[in-house]
Amino acid sequence: MNRTLAVLGIVGLVLAGVAGVWRLDQGRQYLQLVAAGERALDAGNSYAAIEAFSGAVALRPNSMVAYLRRGEAYHAQRRDDEAIRDLREAMRRAPDATQPVVALGDLFDAGNDPARAADMYAQAVARLQDQDPQLLYKLALARYRAGTPAAAIDPLRRAIARNDSNGEAHYLLGLVYRDTQDVDRAISSLERAVKVAPSLIPAHEELADLYRSAGRAVDEMRQLQTLATLDDHVERSVAIGLAEARRAQYDGALGTLSGAGTRAPTNPQVQLAIARVYLARAERTRDREAAARALKVLEHALGGTARRSEGLALFGRAMYLSGDYAGSERILREAIATSPVDLEAFAYLADSAEHAQHFEDARDALLSLDVLQGDTVTGDARTTRTERIGVLSFKAGDSKSAVLYLGRAAGAGRADAGSWAMLAQARWQTGDLDGARDALARGLALDGRHPDLLRLRRTIR
């Protein structure tokens, strides 16, 4: 009996030893397969990587790393359904690990699904408790790309608090503030971006645009000159020339653009910019000679590779400023029918059509422009346009539309005595007697001697 027990004990020890050796060998094989998969993935051989990581999964079904890396290999082959499956399995195997969560976020981000990417990044950020500023930046960028810029502010502030030297984070924060209509903070963030990353060209470009919108012409010019130093392309000289024209420095603008034209004599952007300078001078001074010069430049540009709708829009405007109103309207109709359409053609057409007393056509051009521009223009600009649409509707005999648009403009605080007179008459014509009396009273409060209001007071009882 004792001998039997001894034999059994020896056998047990032998089997335990064999099992230990087998587990040791299995562990060694697992590590070898993972290493082989890593080498294959680094070499761009995703097929071999998948084979190696699949072997590792077979040996260790609970391995988060094997699922994670095989998921990344599947993603390299654009087999995203299988990649998502493996990455979710990696998350299940290691609930507290951040790597599979971030990898899944990266996959969604690369697949142009920023909302799902942001959800993954938010989970990873919560697990790391703000320890990784780059991950906070990725979360903010995904939220921004998903169309929720306000939600990007908090992670960006936290990322910058961890690493204030990240110019990209300051730049993105500037874009976020711009899109949430906080212009002062947008400018401040972009100024910080170009300070910590002086060669960050997009930040300089955006800052120049915001300075322009804010009427800070000197600051805008400084940014444009910096851009010309960083990026010596002819387009930078074009931007400087146009900025000079906006400051009514027409001779300086033409000098800048002439220099650009010498470097790139066939560049259509230079030609169109020169025409714009002449048009700006003609707009400001009513100088028909400047308009004629613009026409000459535009004839040459349209014979080359200039964007046709833009060239036609400017040509039509030059004809308008030259006194050829009928020709201007005809050319501008062609401009808005040419794709891709240049939006300023609609505004120019409205002027030409109104001059020809084609009020409905002028109104429709402005309505098209308003729809196409949407919220990309300031609220004040849209309100001004709304009032003009109302006036044109009134002149076209469309009282209902006049009531709608003049009423909107008045509600936004944009109505003078003449507009109130039109609104009063339009309301009266649509049968809204009380509304007409209210508009009449408001107009008379602004100007008690306005002839249209006095006439209406005698008519509206």
**What residues contact 423, with CB distance under 8 A and at least 6 apart?**
390, 402, 403, 406, 407, 410, 415, 439, 443
CB neighbours of residue 165 within 10 Å: 10
Residue 422 lies in a domain: yes
Domain count for the chain: 2
What was the pLDDT predicted at 30?
86
CA count, 13 A, side-chain hemisphere, 370: 19
Torsion of CA 449, 451, 457, 459, to 10 degrees: 170
Task: Look at residues 210, 232, 254 and tell me which one is the last residue of a structural domain.
Answer: 232
Does residue 88 lie in a domain region? no
Whether a cis peptide bond, with omega within 30° of 0, leads into 340 is yes
Report yes or no on 435 lying in a domain. yes
Q: Is 273 helix (H, G, I), strand (E, B) or coil?
A: helix
Residue 10: predicted pLDDT:
46
What is the pLDDT at residue 396?
96
Q: What is the pLDDT of residue 23?
A: 53
pLDDT reported for residue 4: 53
- Domain membership of residue 405 (yes or no) is yes
CA-wise closest residue to 145 among 167, 121, 181: 121
Instruction: Check: CB of residue 293 under 8 Å from CB of residue 271.
Output: no
The domain spanning residue 207 has which CATH number? 1.25.40.10
CA distances 217 to 90, 115, 210, 224, 280, Å, are 55, 38, 10, 10, 16
Look up the domain containing 184 and give its range.
167-232
Would you give the distance in Å from CA 307 to the centre of its chain? Answer: 22
Q: Quote the pTM value.
A: 0.74
In a domain, 366, yes or no: no
- The closest of 325, 411, 322 to 362, measured between CA atoms, is 325
CA-wise closest residue to 219 among 181, 200, 247? 247
- Does a structural domain hold residue 148? no
| Token pair recorded at residue 61 | 């079904």
Dig out the tokens for 269 from the structure. Answer: 């952007």
Report yes or no on 110 lying in a domain. Answer: no
Residue 105, pLDDT score:
94
Of 232, 252, 278, at which residue does a domain stop? 232
Residue 417: its pLDDT value, please? 92
CB 417 within 8 A of CB 404: no
CA atoms within 13 A on the CB side of 450: 20
In angstroms, what CA-CA distances link 120 with 58, 93, 116, 150? 27, 17, 6, 18
List per-residue pLDDT tens for the chain, 461 residues long: 555 544 444 444 444 444 444 455 667 888 888 898 889 888 888 899 889 888 888 888 888 888 899 989 989 989 989 999 989 999 998 888 999 999 999 999 999 999 999 999 999 999 887 789 999 999 999 999 999 999 999 999 999 999 999 999 999 999 999 999 999 999 999 999 999 999 999 999 999 999 999 999 999 999 999 999 998 889 999 999 999 999 999 999 999 999 999 988 889 999 999 999 999 999 999 889 999 999 999 999 998 888 999 999 999 999 999 999 999 999 999 999 999 999 999 999 999 999 999 999 999 999 999 999 988 888 889 999 999 999 999 999 999 999 999 999 999 988 899 999 999 999 999 999 999 999 999 999 999 999 999 999 988 87
Domain edge (last residue) among 232, 252, 286: 232
